[in-house]
Amino acid sequence: MQNGEEMSPLAQDSNKAGGPASVEEVKSQTHGGVEPSAPPLPPSDPPPSGPPEYPRPRLVFHTQLAHGSPTGRIHGFTNVKELYAKIAEVFHISPSEILFCTLNSHKVDMQKLLGGQIGLEDFIFAHVRGETKEVEVTKTEDALGLTITDNGAGYAFIKRIKEESTIDQLKTVCVGDHIEAINDQSIVGCRHYEVAKMLKEQPRGTPFTLRLVGPKKAFDMIGMRTRAPKSSEGKMVNGKETLRLRSKGSATVQEVPNEFEERATKKVDDLLESYMGIRDLDLATTIVEAGKDKMNPDDFAEAMDSVLGDFAFPDVFLFDVWGAIGDVKDDRM
């Protein structure tokens, strides 16, 4: 080898083994002999223990803060709490700031309230915490004139105010106000039926205090005191398909309820308000789903106990619900 010439790496390796490699050896190593192979793959992780994770629908929804914000995009949620977390992440706020959401309207419109279903083309508006206020209430009759619902994430709020009722006389109390405390006792985390029960148990003639949190409003909404018309309560979401949110299990894409399901759900929602002072389309839908295929009231009561036993519905309510579903089935309504 002359000075200045460099030895190839292959020749260097061959010299270390005992001499220069021939052309045939080089060909054998690179083409005709043993070819280089990739290192072995690492062992795969063992399958996770426990039940499989629920698949998350890959559906994208557009959202804004109701009082004004840029438009965000969210996806990958299966229940209301996860939905609020996604919205909060987009707008860099805490999920606890969100009181409730409406569909396709930035106004405090209880006809557009997001419940357990979202149309695939619906636009979501999130209403966040605004002004905190305290009001003193004295019952003059058994009912206050309130309809209570909740957002599915721990906040109960006022869905409806009956005209000329006790609450209607208090002009600072508005539809959409979150009931944060009764007599300084926090009710955050309580379901709407629990809050309705507490309010019913307040004695007549004895003043009590409500601490309320109103939704933050844009300038064009300040001063509005909205009230949902009774004839429009229970209106289902628009669109050919909806995303059904569930507290347990995966969210599912479903067809819009048929005429029977919509009429029966509306009737059950009316009965919920009559007996319990609440309106909850998701709860009414669950009741209809539990009862629509049952052949007798005993089977219906057993199904209700297994699905919604925590509510401890009175027998007279279950009887009326069974009758309402039967009337709709027989097209008597």
The pLDDT tens digits of the residues spanning 29-63 come to 444 444 455 456 556 556 556 555 555 556 889 99
Tell me what pLDDT residue 213 has: 96
Nearest to 194 by CA among 110, 321, 311: 311
CA distance 333 to 329: 9
The length of the chain is: 333
Q: Measured in Å, how far apart are the chain's first and last C-alpha atoms?
A: 105
- Read off the pTM: 0.60
Beta carbons of 44 and 103 less than 8 angstroms apart: no
Q: How many CB atoms lie within 10 A of CB 213?
A: 21
Cα 95 from chain centroid?
A: 12
pLDDT tens track of the chain, all 333 residues? Answer: 444 444 444 344 444 444 444 444 444 444 444 445 545 655 655 655 655 555 555 688 999 999 999 999 999 888 888 999 999 999 999 999 999 999 999 999 988 988 777 888 889 999 999 999 999 999 888 888 888 888 888 899 999 998 888 899 998 999 999 999 999 899 999 988 889 889 988 998 999 999 999 999 875 454 444 544 443 333 334 445 666 565 555 555 555 567 778 888 888 888 887 777 777 777 888 888 888 888 888 888 888 887 776 677 778 888 888 888 888 887 755
Q: How far apart are CA 315 and CA 204, in angstroms?
A: 27
The per-residue pLDDT for range 283-310, each reduced to its tens digit, is 888 888 888 888 888 888 888 887 776 6
The residues pairing with 147 across neighbouring beta strands, listed in sequence order, are 160
Closest by CA position to 272, among listed 332, 168, 193, 154: 193
C-beta separation of 82 from 207 below 8 A: no
Q: Give the pLDDT score at 244.
A: 59
Q: Which pLDDT does position 229 carry in this prediction?
A: 44
